[in-house]
């Protein structure tokens, strides 16, 4: 392991020598991730993007490679969709998740390469790092942090940063 690795387990996260509390999927950590199981997939994942709400976070508060979330931005979570596990735009006829949520969970999102870019239908979509709903409250499979910690992570990730989920 490297200092630049973000290591996740059931107890929390380690990154740059700091222990950070986090929330994982309500289904725990799974070696055989499936769409809708509520689990966080075990393994090594890359961070492939950063999205943010420009009406809630100033661009200057983030690294210059962060991409704003627009009002019609969605994420396809329907295994039947040819764009499964990809960002799509409204209107979209398949099942999807709105990226521009009314709550603050997706104000800042780090995208992982879980089942991406060539998604295998049913293996699960959209394992994000995002803001938590409440401390340690389970997610739908994503990894969630306190807002301050997520921003701290966002400034320290590099192209080589890996998210290592120990299961």
| pLDDT tens, residue by residue, 5-59 | 999 999 999 999 999 999 999 999 999 999 999 999 999 999 999 999 999 999 9
pTM metric for this prediction: 0.95
| Token pair recorded at residue 30 | 């799974």
Q: Is residue 51 part of a domain?
A: yes
Looking only at the bridges linking them, the beta strands covering 22-23 and 18-20 are unpaired
Q: Kindly report the CA angle at 93 between 92 and 94, in degrees rounded to 5?
A: 95
CA gap 84, 128 in Å, rounded = 15
| DSSP string across 129-157 | EEE-SSTT--BSS-EEE-HHHHHHHHHH-
Q: Is residue 88 part of a domain?
A: no
The count of residues in the chain is 167
pLDDT tens digit string along 29-43? 999 999 999 999 999
Q: Is residue 90 part of a domain?
A: no
The count of structural domains within the chain is: 1
> Which residue range is the domain that position 117 belongs to?
6-69+104-165
CATH number at residue 43: 2.40.440
Reported as type and span, the H/E element at residue 41 is strand 40-41
């Amino acid at each position: 392991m490297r200092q630049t690795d973000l290591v996740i387990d059931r107890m929390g996260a380690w990154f740059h020598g700091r222990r950070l509390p986090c929330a994982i999927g309500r289904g725990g950590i799974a070696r055989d991730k499936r769409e809708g199981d509520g689990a966080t997939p075990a393994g090594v994942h890359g961070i492939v993007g950063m999205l943010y709400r420009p009406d809630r976070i100033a661009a200057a508060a983030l690294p210059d490679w962060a991409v704003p979330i627009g009002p019609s931005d969605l994420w396809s979570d329907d295994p039947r969709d040819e764009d499964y596990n990809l960002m799509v735009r409204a209107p979209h006829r398949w099942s999807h998740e709105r990226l521009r949520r009314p709550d603050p969970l997706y104000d800042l999102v780090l995208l992982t390469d879980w089942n991406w870019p060539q998604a295998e239908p049913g293996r699960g979509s959209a394992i994000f790092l995002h803001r938590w709903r409440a401390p340690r409250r389970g997610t739908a499979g994503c990894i969630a942090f306190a807002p301050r910690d997520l921003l701290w992570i966002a400034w320290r990730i590099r192209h080589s940063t890996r998210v290592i989920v120990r299961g």
